[in-house]
Amino acid sequence: MGVAAKLRQSQKNLMGSFILLFGCLGLGVLLQRFRDFPPNSALVLNQFIIYISLPALALYFIPEVTLDSSVLLPVGLAWICFAGAALFFWSLGKSFGWSKKLIGCLILTGGLGNTSFIGFPVMEALYGKEGLRTAILIDQPGSFMVLSTLGIALAAALSKGNADAGVIARKILRFPPFLVFMLALGLNILDLHFSDDLKEVFQRLGSTVSPLALVSVGLQLRLERRSKHWGFLALGLTYQLMLAPLLILVIYVWGLHVRGTLAQVCVMEAAMAPMITASIVAASYGLKPRLANMMIGFGIPLSFITLTFWYWVVQGI
């Protein structure tokens, strides 16, 4: 396949992803009107994602990732953005007397980007296979691992307000995606791989993450003009869509002098919309579920505007 044909195929895949994204989100909103769907439908979808879809995704990707020193920068991106969000929102929360649940919601949904469902097709369309390989490293050992460890620890600690270290550790160890991630990492270290048939099964199960999650978000999304969350929504999206990529630009490009495709992909991935799975975890732990869903529902459409800006910025790198 020639370069032009590959570009057309990437653009086609990207457009298909966008249609699926907005279609599933709109479908969830539409299904709110159908009484055949019980009130806990979103909860059921979330549990399927956590227990089936995310573990399958880990088993599909992690055993095939090449682990060496070259992965440090891509993997480190999610940890840096999450740490920045924790510092940013915790400081503001303490200064203005926010509740721990509000702080936790903003850290989770503002500190982790949608580096897979949106990130993968966008990076492949813009930067080809090299961009996709970097995006996979940013997402799986990066964003996915941060959510499975620090994200769950944060949610457990702030949902009750006084969870001790033992409770938090048990929450992490009982989080199915984390357990399967560690299994997949062990297979990678031992150079063990699944058969092509099993990998296809994992890929198909893993591909259900985004459509099911978006339907779940749509089922819970409410447009409340008088909602007290609008200001916090604006603050959360400002960090995720503008401050997080700026942080990576300062550290990677200006500080470490990283250049080329690696630097561009890292900045662009840092600018992605909030992670869908992070909003599900926030909602599951009672960390301002409505705000968490608003971060996704409004963050995804807005991110396409801000991504255009960041793509213009990184062209000179």
Q: Which two tokens stand for residue 92?
A: 């503001």
Residue with tokens 């869509």: 241
The predicted structure's pLDDT at residue 1: 53
The predicted structure's pLDDT at residue 64: 83
Per-residue pLDDT of the chain (317 residues; tens, 9 = 90+): 555 665 566 566 667 767 877 888 889 889 888 878 888 888 888 889 889 988 898 898 888 877 776 688 999 999 999 999 999 999 999 999 999 999 999 999 999 998 877 787 788 778 877 887 788 889 878 898 899 889 999 998 888 655 667 777 887 888 888 888 889 989 999 999 999 999 999 989 988 877 887 888 788 776 666 668 899 999 999 999 999 999 999 999 999 999 999 999 999 999 999 998 899 889 888 999 989 988 988 898 899 899 999 999 998 88
Residue 100 CB-density burial (10 A; 0-12 exposed, 13-18 middle, 19+ buried): middle
Q: Domain 3-34+42-314, CATH 3.30.70 — does that match?
A: no
The predicted structure's pLDDT at residue 287: 93
- Identity of residue 126: L
Q: For residue 284, give every residue at least 6 positions away whose Cβ sits within 8 Å of its Cβ, in sequence order, or none.
A: 43, 46, 50, 155
What's the rounded Cα separation, in Å, for the pair 59 and 260? 30
What's the rounded Cα separation, in Å, for the pair 16 and 9? 10
Largest Cα span, the chain: 58
Q: In 3D, which of 230, 285, 249, 245 has the Cα closest to residue 108?
A: 285
Domain spans of the chain, in order of start? 3-34+42-314
CB burial string 10-20: b at 16+ within 10 A, e below: beeebeebeee
